[in-house]
Amino acid sequence: MKPPEEAIVFVLSLLAPGVLFTMNKLPGIQEPFLILGTGVVILGSVLLLFHLTVRHDKKVEPLFYVFAEFSFTCMVGLTNALQQDGFISGFMDFYLKMGEPHLSTAYAVMMCYWEGVVHFTIFLTIIHRMFAGKSYRSLGLLWAGSSIAHQIVHIPGVVIGKHGSNIRPAFWRNVPFFLAPFWAACVLLRRPRVMPVITADEIAVEQKKHLLSRPVELLLSLLLLGVISFCVFRALVVLDCPMDACFTYIYQYEPYLKDPVGFPKVTMLVHFFYAVPLLVVLIYGLMTPGCSWMLDWTLFLAGAVAQTQWCHIGASLHSRTPFTYRVPADKRWPVLTLNVLLAVAPVLLALRCHTNPAYFMKPVPKGQTSNKKKTN
């Protein structure tokens, strides 16, 4: 009996630490260009193995290869995080020296934990649902938001930060991993959305309610306005705004924002230029009935903000961040509270939209029951 595809992906992904350990013991392939070439060969070989395991399965989709390949790299990332925190040794030394030195930073460690735990779990769940004939569109959009946010902070952060003068050839292997989530997001967004059918009368009742008569949406709107204000303020801080409030905040509350690694500065600018406009649009969607796109973009934003905030919060407290850039002990709770609220707000919004989507749905013909499914 053939094992399920997610089990095959899980087992093949577990080969990653063994590959890294072997490469770490072979000095002949530890030159910068050899590391890049070897990495390309290994990733190509892994992709071929995945293809051989599913080539006779009619349910396989092109997205399977993206999720399967990313699963393998997730284990590479988790191996790096475990070594940097001292749980294991002898796996990543060569790669940190001649491949991607920035992976030893606190931000990269937290990024690798997110990949190795959250993304890996999502991939296995998606692959299971894919071959079971179930929809994985929502879960895929959640991952796409997280992965795109990861890459648009990771790559520019390396280039403009203190590691920008020490970029090795292996760094450019990130380019296909930067492009793949955009392609996957486009594929998923073009697919029909599967959601429960709600009767026209129920939709009409919900959509007649004003924002003031919907306390949950009102509180969410106020919370999102607070998140927008915080994102704008921190963008001004990293752009060296001369206001006293900015000066006080960066030196007394979040000195990590001036860490020369580059990641915190890029994170704040990504929030300002991308998250803030999307949050404004989502607040509009909370006040305007029938905005069915809310169901997709709330998931995308929730994944993106959760990923960036996990890395930012963790790095600002991590022992690999120099002491002078860590959050001061006496300011830890207010800073953590603000950062956690920023991460949680989009997640709460996504949960609200998906647990009771009637307000965001287009009216359906009368007579349809809520225990059926429709494509919207």
Helix (H, G, I), strand (E, B) or coil at 124: helix
C-alpha to C-alpha distance for 31 and 36, rounded to whole angstroms: 9
Q: Name residue, tokens 């040794």.
A: 89
C-alpha to C-alpha distance for 170 and 41, rounded to whole angstroms: 13
221 closest CA partner among 272, 279, 273: 279
Contact status, residue 251 vs residue 326, Cβ threshold 8 Å: no
**Number of Cβ atoms within 10 Å of the Cβ of 130:** 20
195 pLDDT tier (thresholds 50, 70, 90) = confident
Contact status, residue 201 vs residue 366, Cβ threshold 8 Å: yes
Q: 287-309 pLDDT, tens per residue?
A: 999 899 999 999 999 999 999 99
Dihedral (CA of 143, 100, 310, 250) sign: negative
Q: 99-120 pLDDT, tens per residue?
A: 999 999 999 999 999 999 999 9
256 closest CA partner among 345, 201, 332: 332
pLDDT at 370: 44
265 closest CA partner among 239, 244, 246, 230: 239
- What is the pLDDT averaged over residues 61-81? 95
Residue 207: is its pLDDT beyond 60?
yes
Dihedral (CA of 88, 92, 97, 103) sign: negative
Residue length, the chain? 376
- What is the pLDDT averaged over residues 202-219? 87
pLDDT at 206: 85
Which structure tokens are listed for 193?
């959305």
Q: 125-169 pLDDT, tens per residue?
A: 999 999 998 999 999 999 999 999 999 999 999 999 999 988 999
pLDDT at 74: 96
Residue 202: is its pLDDT beyond 90?
no
Q: List the alpha helices (DSSP H) in the chain.
A: 5-13, 15-24, 32-54, 62-84, 93-98, 106-114, 120-131, 137-160, 174-190, 200-207, 215-238, 244-252, 263-270, 276-287, 294-317, 332-355
Report the share of the chain in percent with pLDDT over 90.
Answer: 77
Q: 310-360 pLDDT, tens per residue?
A: 999 999 999 999 999 999 999 999 999 999 999 999 999 999 999 989 899
Three state DSSP letters for 55-85: CCCCCCCHHHHHHHHHHHHHHHHHHHHHHHC
- What is the pLDDT averaged over residues 16-20? 94
DSSP state of 288: S
> How high is the mean pLDDT of the chain?
91
Residue 364: is its pLDDT beyond 60?
no
Residue 366 buriedness (CB in 10 A; 0-12 / 13-18 / 19+): exposed
pLDDT at 234: 97
pLDDT at 208: 87
258 closest CA partner among 151, 283, 287, 249: 249
38 closest CA partner among 109, 85, 84, 98: 98
Residue 1: is its pLDDT beyond 70?
no
Q: 237-285 pLDDT, tens per residue?
A: 999 999 999 999 999 999 999 999 999 999 999 999 999 999 999 999 9
C-alpha to C-alpha distance for 82 and 91, rounded to whole angstroms: 10
C-alpha to C-alpha distance for 119 and 137, rounded to whole angstroms: 15
pLDDT at 30: 80
Residue 48 buriedness (CB in 10 A; 0-12 / 13-18 / 19+): exposed
* DSSP string for 272-287: IIIIHHHHHHHHHHHH
**Number of Cβ atoms within 10 Å of the Cβ of 235:** 19
Cα–Cα–Cα angle for 370, 372, 376, rounded to 5 degrees: 90
Three state DSSP letters for 192-224: CCEEECCCHHHHHHHHCCCHHHCHHHHHHHHHH
State which amino acid sits at residue 352: R
C-alpha to C-alpha distance for 223 and 294, rounded to whole angstroms: 17
